[in-house]
Structure 1
Amino acid sequence: MAVVRTMPGKVQMAAAAAFSLALLYLGSQVQRLEESKSKLERAVALHQVRAIEQRHTLDVAARREPGVQAAVADGASSGGGGGGGMAGTADPDEDTIVLYNRVPKTGSTSFTNIAYDLCARNKYHVLHINTSKNNPVMSLQDQAWPSFNPGRRRGIRTEKKRKVQSVWSTPSLTSYNPTLTVRFVKNVTFWKERKPGFYHGHLAFMDFSKFGAPKKPLYINIVRDPIDRLVSYYYFLRFGDDYRPGLRRRKQGDKKTFDECVLEGGPDCAPERLWLQIPFFCGHSAECWNAGSHWALDQAKLNLVNEYLIVGTTEELEDFILMVEAILPRFFKGATELFRKGKRSHLRRTSEKKQPTADTVWRLQQSGIWKLEQEFYEFAREQFAFVRAHAVRERDGELIPLAQSFFYEKIYPKQA
């Protein structure tokens, strides 16, 4: 310090500046070391997670099919994984079932066509659930996998009996014969040749765990403003749409407008006809189909939140498609671009549809049934808006899916 005091003023200032620069340099070096340490810790954590995931995959493969563990290990060590196979692999994505129990006149055909257009490219299967007379309620025996006695089935030949017994005696359904009675839950759960699979149909919600299924499907759905949906369905039954314009519809020839129907108190436009979205989400309980049931509304809300991966709206269909692409890229990679630019970029439009007057809308809104259906629709919209707000961000008018916002660290015990 004595030396510094004897130095000229300018020299002292230069020395102080040099000392400050040295401190800044050392500080920056320390910061760089800290950043390098953080990156190294993340890399180590990521490596450990991948190792754990690989061990988990091998364990799952070994439990699923003895002898496949070595094949999976060889594929992992060689860097292979291509995802070309559609069945019999250890990848959990290859075992996924998406179930779209579509509500009529909510844009479901437009969305389902996207699934059909993408299935070959993304290597999954699409299957339509065609119920008798489009009845959304399945019988209990059709839902379940009951003990099956082929001898009690009328008119079945001896050779067919043996085939039926062979199917139901196996621990898992590995082949499908459409001439045999194979019930829905077991079929969907164990039909390995059709996994990954996208099932769709006009079907009320069904709880797979009720029947002891080891794994539930991923439910998705779309809802629509209740009055708009009913008006669209009313004209659809009379005039069809631009999807299959030549098909004769059930009410074809009836020229009565929706306004006239409401004014006259006709059955096709009665408030009871609004009662559809709630029972589709409520399920197969008798009370679900009791129009105006508050219990059914509560159950539909619970199922929407607890049993559905995502529920979108017709009015925001593009946002819904973007969301399912972000959530389920195994199925819907490329869906948003296809919807915007491809031949499916427009909704299936009902022909000759006339918008109802304000008086007609007011009359329907006086119904307690409309109030419950509207409450459910608003609940679904609010839930979708919440999910969307936490999954995407807006940039230049476009919704961009957010990148992964978490990683794993401090994983113990450490690997040797």
Structure 2
Amino acid sequence: MDTVFFNRVPKVGSETLIELMKQLSDINGFTLFREKQPKAILVTLGPIQQLQLAEDIADLEQPAAYVHHVNFINFTHLEVPRPIYINMVRDPVERVISWFYYARAPWVQAQRQRNFPSVPGPKVQWLKKDFESCVRNGDKECNYIENSDLEHVSDHRRQTLFFCGHSRKDCMPFNSERALQIAKRTVESEYAVVGSWTDVNVTLTVLEHYIPKFFKGAHQIYHTESGGLASNTNPLKPHVSEEIKARVRANFSREIEFYEFCRQRLHKQYLALRLDSNLNY
């Protein structure tokens, strides 16, 4: 299938990549499709929902790129033509801090009120909570317990979930060895590229050379117009001390291992390209 499927992880800088793909679509002649804005992000689907989404993506006019907040869907097992999978990852602790403040941002709360007008909004005390106090006080929201289940629909501490899949038993327990190994195998066997903005030039180079039909010219656009690319940053996010980050990292051991695994794989892809063609990036 001549379709890129970006099953984007929240809070990894995906808006920047989407804006880059939007500009590349005009240059490289493909159509960029995005999921309709959902009222709530539901990333874990049932078998029928997975099949429906896979068939909808397969029916897109090609060449196409499709973007959706959703866990990995195995098109092959569903007997649907397989797309070109891509994704991005981010340091898990930085990501969970970003999500903590994003969920409290005024524009996010305003959208929540529009989407769910009959549901009472959060208490002012919750909105004003800061991450450091949350961790120091042992609040449930910031108490990352290994093998704990999903706390609520907005519990986005599991980056591995987007690569592990839709099994509650195998993929939902937080920081579990099982979810880690499944996610690693999926990345290795299914994903063309899993990038990271921590390694921006490496990511752009690998995208350009592994998926040239879609990403040719990515370097030039990014470095020429990066100031105009969407980033979805939160100016209200305060500084978090390294002490608190270290305390949280102790509970994210396997999530961190997965993140480093993806970065190592990305750098191996980049090194292979340099050895083959003497790239100067």
Bin the TM-score by the shorter chain: 0.7 to 0.9
Match of 1:113 in 2: 19
- Structure with greater helix share of residues: 1
Q: Is the 8 A contact 1:110 1:346 kept in 2?
A: yes
Alpha-carbon offset, residue 385 of structure 1:
1.1
In 1, Cα distance between equivalents of 2:190 and 2:39: 25
Q: Is the 8 A contact 1:98 1:197 kept in 2?
A: yes
In 1, Cα distance between equivalents of 2:79 and 2:39: 25
In 2, Cα distance between equivalents of 1:228 and 1:279: 17
Aligned residue among 253, 256, 262 for 2:129: 256
Q: Is the 8 A contact 1:114 1:344 kept in 2?
A: no
What amino acid is aligned across from residue 361 of structure 1 in structure 2? K
Match of 1:140 in 2: 47
C-alpha distance 122-325 of structure 1, shift in aligned 2 (>3 A): same
Aligned residue among 383, 391, 410 for 2:273: 391
In 1, Cα distance between equivalents of 2:123 and 2:192: 38
In 1, Cα distance between equivalents of 2:55 and 2:12: 29
Q: Is the 8 A contact 1:318 1:339 kept in 2?
A: no
Structure 1 runs of 4+ with >4 Å offset: 249-253
Number of matched pairs: 257
- Aligned runs of 1:236-255 on 2, under 5 Å? 236-239=102-105, 248=110, 254-255=127-128
Q: Is the 8 A contact 1:323 1:388 kept in 2?
A: yes
Q: Is the 8 A contact 2:7 2:72 kept in 1?
A: yes
What amino acid is aligned across from residue 239 of structure 1 in structure 2? A
Q: Deviations over 1:142-187 (max 9, x none)?
A: 112xxxxxxxxxxxxxxxxxxxxxxxxxxxxxxxxxxxxxx21222
Partner of 2:11: helix, strand, or coil?
A: coil
In the alignment, structure 1 segments of 5+ residues that lack a partner are 1-94, 145-182, 402-416
TM-score (norm 1): 0.57
Q: Is the 8 A contact 1:102 1:201 kept in 2?
A: yes
TM-score (norm 2): 0.83
Q: Is the 8 A contact 1:259 1:360 kept in 2?
A: yes
Alpha-carbon offset, residue 117 of structure 1:
1.7
Match of 1:222 in 2: 88
Match of 1:124 in 2: 30
Identity, in percent, stands at 27
Q: Is the 8 A contact 2:33 2:65 kept in 1?
A: yes
Alpha-carbon offset, residue 120 of structure 1:
2.3
Partner of 1:99: helix, strand, or coil?
A: strand
Aligned residue among 30, 55, 64 for 1:197: 64
Match of 2:162 in 1: 280
Query: Larger radius of gyration, structure 1 or 2?
Result: 1
C-alpha distance 249-184 of structure 1, shift in aligned 2 (>3 A): closer
Match of 2:149 in 1: none
In the alignment, structure 2 segments of 5+ residues that lack a partner are 113-121, 146-154
Q: Is the 8 A contact 2:11 2:99 kept in 1?
A: yes
> RMSD of the TM alignment (CA)?
2.5
